[in-house]
Amino acid sequence: MMSYRAPLDDMAFLARSLPDADAIQMITDQAAKMAEQSWLATNASADAEGCHWHDGKVSLPADMRQAFRHYADGGWMGLTMPERWGGQQQSEVLGGFVGEMLTSSNHALSMLPALTMSACRAIIHHASDSLKDEYLPPIIAGRWSATMCMTEAHCGSDLGLVRCKAIPEGQSYRLSGQKIFISYGQHDASDNIIHLVLARLPDAPEGIKGLSLFLVPAQLSDGHDNNVHCIGIEEKMGIHASPTCTLSFENATGFLVGEAHAGIKAMFTMMNEMRLGTGLQGVGLSEHSYQASLSYAQQRLQMRSLSGIKNPDGIADAIIEHPDVRRMLLTQKAFADGGRALACYCAQLLDASKHQDDDDTIKLLELLTPIAKGFCTEVGLESASNAVQIFGGHGYIKDNGVEQLYRDGRIATLYEGTTGIQALDLLGRKVLGNQGASLRLFTKQIHLLCKQNAEHPRLAELVKRLQPYAKEWPDISMKIGMKALQNHDEAGAASVDFLMYSGYVVLGYFHLKMALEADELQHTSVASNEAHTFTSDFLQNKVRLADFYLRRLLPRSTAHKQAMLEGVDSLAPAW
Amino acid sequence: MMSYRAPLDDMAFLARSLPDADAIQMITDQAAKMAEQSWLATNASADAEGCHWHDGKVSLPADMRQAFRHYADGGWMGLTMPERWGGQQQSEVLGGFVGEMLTSSNHALSMLPALTMSACRAIIHHASDSLKDEYLPPIIAGRWSATMCMTEAHCGSDLGLVRCKAIPEGQSYRLSGQKIFISYGQHDASDNIIHLVLARLPDAPEGIKGLSLFLVPAQLSDGHDNNVHCIGIEEKMGIHASPTCTLSFENATGFLVGEAHAGIKAMFTMMNEMRLGTGLQGVGLSEHSYQASLSYAQQRLQMRSLSGIKNPDGIADAIIEHPDVRRMLLTQKAFADGGRALACYCAQLLDASKHQDDDDTIKLLELLTPIAKGFCTEVGLESASNAVQIFGGHGYIKDNGVEQLYRDGRIATLYEGTTGIQALDLLGRKVLGNQGASLRLFTKQIHLLCKQNAEHPRLAELVKRLQPYAKEWPDISMKIGMKALQNHDEAGAASVDFLMYSGYVVLGYFHLKMALEADELQHTSVASNEAHTFTSDFLQNKVRLADFYLRRLLPRSTAHKQAMLEGVDSLAPAW
């Protein structure tokens, strides 16, 4: 079995100045035990067993069901949910840390609470009080789960094509149609499943503005079955323990959530939360890939170091002595640690947005969400691929577990909006859509950080690496924006390179910031009220990781810059 | 089922000036039928079924066995083998084209002939005449197959650690030990299996210089079983239909191939051939990924083009209208087409080396082999990942086949020497090892091509893109070489970035060369003796593909250059 240890020190480092640092430390400790033990224990066996579909009923591997009950019965589903419906109302920062551990230890299982909590968010924001009071408490108590039902066979990215129908009948509606790719659309680990379904009312306009959102329980409150049938589950590359269901709604009773024809807005509440959660899957994938690789690289003896024997008593040196193996490990760790800092910052923005209606907070969160989702999942795939590579041929074998990381992780750049969709959202809506106003909020932070530390006694060289991006990033955006005014396809032609460029810069900012903070903690007396003490090695490693990142990974931004500036005429069909 | 059409026009374009262009066209036509029909037909079902191990015997999926017999009984195993032992002695260029089709249509199955032919090569070059006369004819006739047995549980990349023993007994030897990861080490599609085994004689020095190579048949000529037991097969991420065997040699009779203690030299004859073959797997993967994606992207309707409706009668536009989808498709096609040109050039060098003992030919081939293997397999993974991405969520589902490409292809950067091993071979042995002499042979070609076409009426802009690399590539090598003199680890710290940089430049050269040739064919009257006529669209697409490659993919070299020049101190452990 693979081992995994929750990166509690790294989390504590990020949380150390937050008001709830103590609570975070205490609760992440408990979550770590659950992730490292019951969730991890079932990861490989559940992958091998997969889900079972029989006559419309789906059963999960038995120990997966148990691991989920352990989580749900422990009250974890309510961690960040409002107290009013039974939640503990902890911060999103804490929720994010716990979410990362769960996805690291068991991607397939972590989708069940993640989807359920996102659905709660949509209900909280958009449903009527009576729906909230009826449906939120059992979900938050962990007895029921929830899904989001958007995709149909002919529409994935393009929800404007949804055909599912809702006919009014008294206070409720009758839903009919088929939805595909519904994760945990049917399973046997909860007493009831609450579906949030995008459908069209009879008088709905065409396209995306004609969608309404409905709450459709699998079982009605009178105990009757609501005619939501799982007519099959998919065979997939990975996440075998997460049932991907085709659901058929056959005159099922549903309740309108929010206004008629305003379903897409409600769905986006859920979607944005899910996108941040999917970004965390990328982070968790990088972290687990790193840990598995590190321990293998320290143990596996193969060849002598080019710079002289390092392990004279062994038959060979550990492969970690080979610089290229270290390059792969540092890449994984830099993506995990930088991605976690980005995710934590997004969570802080989300927490802040609950308490104050500050436009800048929302703008920053909106800007960073597609980056967290798109970039962290893409580089998560690289981390998982590096794990396979570090294990060599042994990485391709089932027993060693890293091939599962590679297969499971591959879903993350596809669902909740592909990387291409994230990229269009980022460049089109979040950057060009407000003439770079949101972007400037972030590049101003880069500028300030670099300006304040331009003469840093130890890290000025690193500061110099990041500093040009404060100007270059908005400059590039403007260039593309000007071209896109002439031809909208210019945005599409630049978008994914723009997303990746943005991700490299954003992680560069967080790595530099962490290095500066670590350096400060190392070189000044630590304030006594800090909840956690960090070893000198730990702090030194943050600096080394930033050094690696800014010197060896940030330069990738250059290639993306050059590519995106070539414009749409470089993409002429050649077939 | 996925469709696949052998890229016969692209192959004919590369072969058009070769002396055997006619034979190539005729025989690739036949091979295409076999690949597109029987080999492709069994690809998905054999993946689902996998191999069976029972009581030491391995059976392949029945239709795989049939597809292989179709190939072997058709005499294909002897395609490039010497006439003396029953082969057809066709060119390596032709052999490469056929190999690519087979690996595109069925990666798992293609490994059986590829390994067998590589083993033949080692026998031809190093074995005694009596061994050749006894073992080559039945192999070349397709009745027997062959393996290479190198890896043991504790040694993969580091063959110096091999423990398998060989004790002399009369004219032969007794071999004992265990080998792992032996592809087709046991199977039921051939009458006999000939193993080439690395082992140590009793008086062998330690390390790699103490290895000898032995020919160990599974069945002896008297029909007796030779005590080579398959004690298990691996469960893997992909290539399920290719049995990965653990073989136990228990006093098995073997015959020395080549000199005692010179086994590694003989093994490298086989290895170099396998590396070129593995490079072809990368090319074939890119090609199949491209074809699958192209046909999906032309059919799948989703969203409207940003630059206006393209398919007014449909519910949406085909996703190929979205520039980012085209970017992914062009990337796949550029890797396939450029990689094929590189592989074809390597095959020409191999053909030339058979007829003349020219040092420059060998040097170029040695330089390009790790690039063909390392680079083409790495970018093959990107092509396969793009295929999954273009299919969206549907790419993650088994039915659509692209997820199998992604899983199967993942082996190619691991076996026959990982990318890290290729990179050390390239930088250490092939470039720095002769002070850049081999490299200059290639960069001189770049220089000449660019100089001759600097004023090209239509393509001067593209020429300008490639031209700086003729100088930059050797300059970078020299810089790294100087550093590595001080600290050998500097080579390891730069190696994989150097390999990828080199690959981008080499493919840039071939794309430019093809574009110039296509342009010439388009703008001058085609010589009447050309075996094949190319449509104007076909030729124009070569130019467009080069335009895409040089503008959007070649810039990636910049990121690799920057990263590799940072040196080993950027890779300090951060754990």
Same domain, B374 and B442: no
**Confidence at residue B97, expressed as pLDDT on a 0 to 100 scale:** 98
pLDDT at A433 over 80: yes
Please count the residue pairs, one from chain A and one from chain B, whose beta carbons lie less than 8 angstroms apart: 247
Q: Are A204 and A211 in contact (CB under 8 A)?
A: yes
Residues 6+ apart with CB under 8 A from A295: A3
Domain boundary among B385, B416, B447: B416
Give residues 542 to 561 of B whose Cβ lies within 8 Å of A. Answer: 542, 544-545, 547-548, 551-553, 555-559
The token pair that represents A127 in the structure block: 């449903």
Rounded Cα distance between A500 and A426, Å, is 11
Looking only at the bridges linking them, the beta strands covering B192-200 and B144-149 are: parallel
Tokens of residue A245, six digits: 């269901």
A314 contacts in B (CB within 8 Å)?
none
The position carrying tokens 């005014």 is A485
Same structural domain, A399 and A506? no
CA distance B199 to B455: 58
Q: How crowded is residue B170: how many other Cβ atoms within 10 Å of its Cβ?
A: 6
pLDDT digits (tens, 9 = 90+) for A383-406: 999 999 999 999 999 999 999 999
Handedness of CA A212, A215, A217, A222 (dihedral sign): negative
Tell if the CB–CB gap between B568 and A323 is shorter than 8 Å. Answer: yes
Cβ distance A420 to B155 less than 8 Å, yes or no, reads no
Q: Which of A456, A468, A436, A474 is nearest to A513 (CA)?
A: A456
Q: What is the mean pLDDT of residues A339-353?
A: 97
Closest-CA distance of chain A to residue B88, Å: 35
Q: Is the pLDDT of residue A266 over 90?
A: no
Decide: helix, strand or coil at residue B6. coil
Q: Residues of B with CB below 8 A from A294's CB?
A: 575
| CB contact at 8 A, A149 and A197 | yes
Instruction: Return mean pLDDT, chain A.
Output: 96
Specify whether B470 is located in the same domain as B521.
yes
Q: Which residue of A has its CA nearest to B48?
A: A235
**What is the predicted pLDDT for the residue at A492?**
97
Candidates A484, A571, A498, A373; CA nearest to B328 is A571
B187 residue type, one letter? H
- List chain A residues with CB under 8 Å of B406: 237, 410
Residue A43: alpha-carbon gap to chain centroid: 19
A486 in B contact zone (CB under 8 Å):
no
In chain B, the number of structural domains is: 2
- The closest CB to that of A571, out of B407, B495, B548, belongs to B548
Give pLDDT, residue B528: 47
pLDDT at B66: 95
A534-547: pLDDT as tens digits: 999 999 999 999 99
- With vertex at residue A43, the alpha carbon angle to CA A42 and CA A46, rounded to the nearest 5 degrees, is 75
Q: Which pLDDT value is given to residue B265?
A: 87
- Tell me the average pLDDT of chain B: 96
- Asked if the structure places residue A557 within a domain, the reply is yes
| Local structure of A199: helix, strand or coil | strand
- The answer on pLDDT for A548 being more than 80 is yes
Q: How buried is B455 (Cβ within 10 angstroms: 0-12 exposed, 13-18 middle, 19+ buried)?
A: exposed
Looking at residue B531, what is its pLDDT?
46
Residue A280, in any domain of the structure: yes
Residues of B belonging to the active site: 416
- B167 Cα to chain A: minimum distance (Å): 23
Q: How far apart are CA B428 and CA B495, in angstroms?
A: 8
- What is the nearest CA distance from B330 to chain A, expressed in angstroms? 7
Q: Per the domain annotation, does B223 fall within a domain?
A: no
Token pair belonging to B436: 């850049």
Residue among A92, A152, A416, A490 flagged as catalytic? A416
Mean pLDDT of A354-370: 93
Question: Between the ranges A128-137, B299-308, B518-527, where is the mean pLDDT highest?
Answer: A128-137
Q: What is the per-residue pLDDT for A441?
A: 98
Q: What angle do CA B446, B448, B453 make, to 5 degrees?
A: 100
Query: Distance of CA B473 to CAs A88, A162, A557, B447, B561, Å?
Result: 60, 53, 21, 11, 9
> In B123-274, which ranges are E strands?
144-149, 165-169, 172-183, 192-200, 211-217, 228-233, 244-257
Q: Looking at residue A93, what is its pLDDT?
A: 98
**Residue A102 touches chain B, beta carbons under 8 Å:** no
HSE-CB for B59 with a 13 A CA cutoff: 8
- For residue B322, the chain A residue with the least C-alpha distance is A492
If you average pLDDT over residues A196-223, what whole number do you get?
Answer: 96
CA–CA separation, B456 and B271 (whole Å) = 41
Are residues A437 and A383 part of one domain? Answer: no
Task: State the angle between helix axes of B402-409 and B107-126 in degrees (0 to 180), rounded to the nearest 10.
Answer: 30
Taking residue B381's Cβ as centre, other Cβ atoms within 10 Å add up to: 23
Residue B530 has pLDDT above 80, yes or no: no
Q: Which residues pair with A230 in a beta bridge?
A: A247
How sure is the predictor about B463, in pLDDT bands with cuts at 50, 70 and 90? very high
Tokens 């730990």 sit on residue: A538
| A90, part of any domain | no
At B171, is the secondary structure helix, strand, or coil?
A: coil
Rounded to an integer, what distance in angstroms lies between the CA atom of residue A300 and that of residue A317? 8
Express each pLDDT in B83-133 by its tens digit: 999 999 999 999 999 999 999 999 999 999 999 999 999 999 999 999 999
With CB atoms and an 8 Å threshold, state whether B570 touches A556. Answer: no
Q: Helix A323-355 crosses helix A536-548 at what angle (to 10 degrees)?
A: 100
Other CB atoms within 10 Å distance of the CB of residue A354? 12
In chain A, what percentage of residues exceed pLDDT 90? 93
Using alpha carbons, select from B205, B193, B264 the residue that is nearest to residue B229: B193
Cα distance between residue B148 and residue B170, in whole Å? 24
SS3 A164: coil
Using a CB–CB cutoff of 8 Å, tell me whether A303 touches chain B.
yes
For residue A293 the two structure tokens come to: 């690789």
What span, in angstroms and rounded, lies between the C-alpha atoms of A375 and A506? Answer: 10
Tokens 């195993």, located at residue: B77
Range of the domain at A330: 266-415
**Domain end (from B416, B443, B472):** B416
Q: What is the DSSP letter of A532?
A: -
d(CA A533, CA B575): 17
Do B441 and B559 lie in one domain? The reply is yes
Partner residue opposite B156 with nearest CB, options A161, A392, A489: A392
Assess whether A270 and A357 both reside in one domain: yes
Give, for A530, the enclosing helix (H) or strand (E). none
Q: What distance in Å separates the CA atoms of residue B368 and residue B354, rounded to the nearest whole number?
A: 17
**Closest B-chain CA to A565:** B552
SS (H, E, C) B349-371: HHHHHHHCCCHHHHHHHHHHHHH
Instruction: Classify A460 as helix, strand or coil.
Output: helix
Q: A235 vs B495: CB contact, 8 Å cut-off? A: no
Name the nearest CA neighbour of A369 among A179, A564, A506, A203: A506
Q: What is the DSSP letter of A527?
A: P
Across the interface, whether the CB atoms of A570 and B553 are under 8 A apart is answered no
What is the average per-residue pLDDT within A139-162? 93
A394 and A270 assigned to the same domain: yes
The residue type of B81 is M
- pLDDT tier at A531, thresholds 50, 70, 90: very low
Q: Does A163 touch chain B (CB under 8 A)?
A: no
pLDDT digits (tens, 9 = 90+) for B176-235: 999 999 999 999 999 999 999 999 999 999 999 999 999 999 999 999 999 999 999 999
Within 10 angstroms of residue B216's Cβ, the number of other Cβ atoms is 27
Q: Are strands A192-200 and B52-54 parallel, antiparallel or unpaired?
A: unpaired
Give the Cα separation of B207 and B162 in Å (integer). 8
Q: What does the pLDDT read at residue B3? A: 87
Work out the percent of chain A whose per-residue pLDDT is above 70: 98
Based on the fold, state whether residues A554 and A452 are members of the same structural domain.
yes
Residues in Cβ contact with A284 at an 8 Å cutoff, skipping those fewer than 6 apart? A99, A100, A101, A102, A103, A104, A107, A110, A380
pLDDT tens sequence across B325-369: 999 999 999 999 999 999 999 999 999 998 887 899 999 999 999
Interface contact B412, partner A, CB < 8 A: no
CA distance A11 to A95: 12
pLDDT of residue A235 exceeding 50: yes
Give A454-513 pLDDT, tens digit per residue.
999 999 999 999 999 999 999 999 999 999 999 999 999 999 999 999 999 999 999 999
Q: Supply the CATH number for residue B354's domain.
A: 1.20.140.10
Chain-chain contact of A574 with B322 (C-beta, under 8 angstroms):
no
Chain A, window 351-370: residues with a beta carbon less than 8 angstroms from a chain B beta carbon: none
Q: What is the Cα gyration radius of chain B?
A: 24
Is B304 within 8 Å of B399 (Cβ atoms)? no
Q: Of the candidates B416, B449, B465, which is a domain's last residue?
A: B416
CA distance readout (Å), A286 to A109, A423, A539, B244: 18, 21, 20, 29
Across the interface, whether the CB atoms of B235 and A395 are under 8 A apart is answered no
Q: Do A572 and B548 touch (CB under 8 A)?
A: yes
Report phi then psi at A211, rounded to 5: -95, 140
Residues sharing a CB contact under 8 Å with residue A510, sequence separation 6 or more, in sequence order: A338, A341, A342, A345
Residues within 8 A of B (CB atoms), A 143-162 only = 151, 154-158, 160-161
Quick check: is A38 in a domain? no
Q: Are residues B280 and B412 in the same domain?
A: yes
H or E element that contains B412: none
Residue A164, Cα to own-chain centre: how many angstroms?
28
Mean pLDDT of B305-325: 94
Whether residue A330 is found in the same domain as residue A284: yes
Residue A328, domain member (yes or no): yes
By the CB < 8 Å criterion, does A384 face chain B?
A: no
- Is the predicted ipTM greater than 0.85, yes or no? yes
Amino acid identity for residue B89 in this structure: Q
Instruction: Look up residue A535 and give its DSSP letter.
Output: -
Q: Are residues A283 and A408 in the same domain?
A: yes
Q: Residues 214..273 of B with a Cβ closer than 8 Å to A: which?
A: 234-238
Q: Is residue B80 assigned to a domain? A: no
Please give the Cα distance from A567 to B554 (Å, whole number). 15
pLDDT band at A445 (very low <50, low <70, confident <90, very high): very high
B2 has a pLDDT exceeding 80: no
Q: Is the pLDDT of residue B527 over 60?
A: no
| Per-residue model confidence as pLDDT tens digits over A32-86 | 999 999 999 999 999 999 999 999 999 999 999 999 999 999 999 999 999 999 9
B521 inside domain: yes
pLDDT at B409 over 90: yes
Residues A376 and A454 in one domain: no
Q: Cβ–Cβ of A574/B301 closer than 8 Å?
A: no
The distance from CA A477 to its chain's CA centroid, rounded to whole angstroms, is: 25
pLDDT value at A196 more than 60: yes
